[in-house]
Structures are given as structure tokens and as C-alpha cells.
Amino acid sequence: MGGNSNVKLIDDNGIRIDGRRVDELRNLKIEAGVLKRADGSAYVELGKNKVLAAVYGPRECHPRHMQNPAKAIIQCKYNMIAFSVGDRKRPGPDRRSVEISKIISEAFEYVVFTENYPRTSIDIYIEVLQANAGTRCAGLTAASVALADAGIPMKDLVPSVAVGKVNDQVVLDLQKEEDNFGQADVPMAMIPRTGEVLLLQMDGHLTRVQFDRAMELAVPALHQIYAAQKDALARRYAVEQSDEPEDPATSEPQEG
Ligand code: ADP
């Protein structure tokens, strides 16, 4: 968050540098079930962000001291790969990826019926292939579809989007330059049906009035993302029904 209001990011007609209006989402594409080996998977493009999510489990949790006898634990690993950003990103975990992994795990602990699977772990892997701001939101949106694709019972799908402030205006779905030179970045995730907020972070400052405006922009966008998530799952099942049932022993060359 540069907070540098001298950089003009919205023109006099209210058009942003990538041609969007303040209440417009970037192009969104969601595919469910893109990986064979994972129990569930999804691929999301949000503008120039490209994110892959894979889910394994519920499976017996190791090491055993991490098991919870009352419920499943959810372990998320968010990772940005080396070529996902302009300058090569130093591979491996850093403070930022640890934070994002934690907040995404916590969001899903609230929606997944973890008490159905005591002593197990549900593992979510999020790989950011290309980053352009808003990757935690794209990752959470993808992970939610991947969990559904894995057949894991949940209260609902969870869409996620960021709202922010640039040139003193509240805008939806910040892209990279807006994130760099803007005044605030507010990622959020919500169950649209109930209005329950599962993620809300704020980098920068919004006044109360600006925050209300941010919610006004976010809620319809979250409904739009939710519809795209459901559509991706519906397309995935449509394909599956038209396919011949496949024998996992012969459908792919075996390893080893
Ligand atoms: P989010 O991707 O959820 O918006 P941030 O606000 O922390 O998370 O990051 C904004 C953007 O900054 C990222 O989407 C990415 O484009 C860029 N970025 C983050 N970390 C790095 C890094 N280590 N090197 C280069 N660019 C980065």
C-alpha cells in the first residue's frame, strides 16, 4: 500500500487504468476438477491472476499429536511460485504466505463440517501461478470449489474478493497498480446466502462511510463469484455424467 495519491489511477470519466468502472470485477474464469490425482481441485483466473487449488482428505492426520479427537483439522498451504511475479520470487514459505495460509484455513474451519471427520486432516494446497493482486481472494475462491469437488460437506461455497481505495475513491477488485499505489486494500470472503463474513482484512484506512460503500460494492460481486463457482461445479458434473465410467487401474499409465 503505497498511499501515493499523486498517481492518477481513475480518469475524469471514472474509468480505471485497465478500462474498468469502480464497481467492475475483472474477468473471472473457474474450472472445477482440473487435476486427476487430487481428491478435489479447481483453477481460477481473476484478471491476470492464475491460481490452482488442490484438496486432499479427509485423511488420517499425521503427526498424530496434531489430531483433534472431536473434528478434522484444516491445513492450508498458500504458495506463490517463482515465476508468478515480475522479479523472480524467492521460493519457499515467507511471513506473507504463512499469514495467508492461516487466514484461509480459519475461513474454511467455519464452513466445513469438520466434526464429521474426527482425527483427520483436510489439506488444501493453493499455488499461485501468476499474481496481479488479489491472489488470496482468488485462492480462497478456488479452494472452496476444490473442497466441493472433493465431496467434503460444507455449509456453503465461499466466494472472496478485495475492495480498496484509490485516488480517494472506493473501488472493487484492485489490480496490481491499484494495490501498489492505492490507499487501502480490503480482502473479504463471505457466505452470500447468510451474509456471514469469514475473512476481512484491512491494509490502509477507510472511513465508516467508505467502508459502507466498500460493502455495497463487494456484496453483488461476491454473489457474482458465487454463481460462477456453482456454474463451474455444474459443468464438472455434466462432463462426468456424459463420460464412460472409467477404471482407475487402466485409465492412466501407472507410475513406478
Ligand atoms: P494479494 O495477492 O492477496 O493481494 P498482497 O496484497 O500481499 O496479497 O500482494 C499484492 C500483490 O503483490 C500480489 O498479488 C503480487 O502481485 C505482488 N506480490 C506479493 N508478494 C510479492 C513478492 N514476494 N514479489 C513480487 N511481487 C509480490
Q: How confident is the model at residue 248 (pLDDT cuts 50, 70, 90)?
A: low
Regarding the beta carbon of 85 and ligand 1, being less than 6 Å apart is answered: yes
Number of Cβ within a 10 Å radius of residue 120: 19
Containing structural domain, residue 101: 28-236
Structural domain contains residue 10: no
Instruction: Give the angle subtended at the CA of 82 by the CAs of 78 and 86, to the nearest 5°.
Output: 110
166-200 pLDDT per residue, tens: 999 999 999 999 999 999 999 999 999 999 999 99
Q: Would you say the CB of residue 33 lies under 6 angstroms from ligand 1?
A: no
9 lies in some domain: no
89 touches ligand 1 (CB under 6 Å): yes
- The atom number, within ligand 1, closest to the CA of 132 reads 16
Residue 149 falls inside a structural domain: yes
Proportion of the chain above pLDDT 90, given as a percent: 89
**Virtual torsion, Cα 193, 142, 49, 127, nearest 10 deg:** 150
Does the beta carbon of 88 lie inside 6 Å of ligand 1? no
Distance of CA 226 to the CA centre of its chain: 12
Burial grade of 118 (CB within 10 A; 0-12, 13-18, 19 or more): middle
98-143: pLDDT as tens digits? 999 999 999 999 999 999 999 999 999 999 999 999 999 999 999 9
Please count the structural domains in the chain: 1
The lowest-confidence range among 31-35, 90-94, 154-158, 218-222 is: 90-94
Residue 150: half-sphere exposure toward Cβ, Cα within 13 Å: 29
pLDDT of residue 125: 98
Residue 214 lies in a domain: yes
- The domain spanning residue 223 has which CATH number? 3.30.230.70
Atom of ligand 1 nearest to the CA of 139: 3
124, 120, 116, 133: which is closest to 64 by C-alpha?
A: 120
**Which of 179, 183, 201, 202 gets mutated to test ligand 1 (max ligand atoms within 8 A of its CB)?**
179
Local confidence band at 7 (pLDDT 50, 70, 90 cut-offs): confident
The whole-number pLDDT of residue 256 equals: 46
Polymer length of the chain: 256
Average pLDDT estimate for 228-256: 72
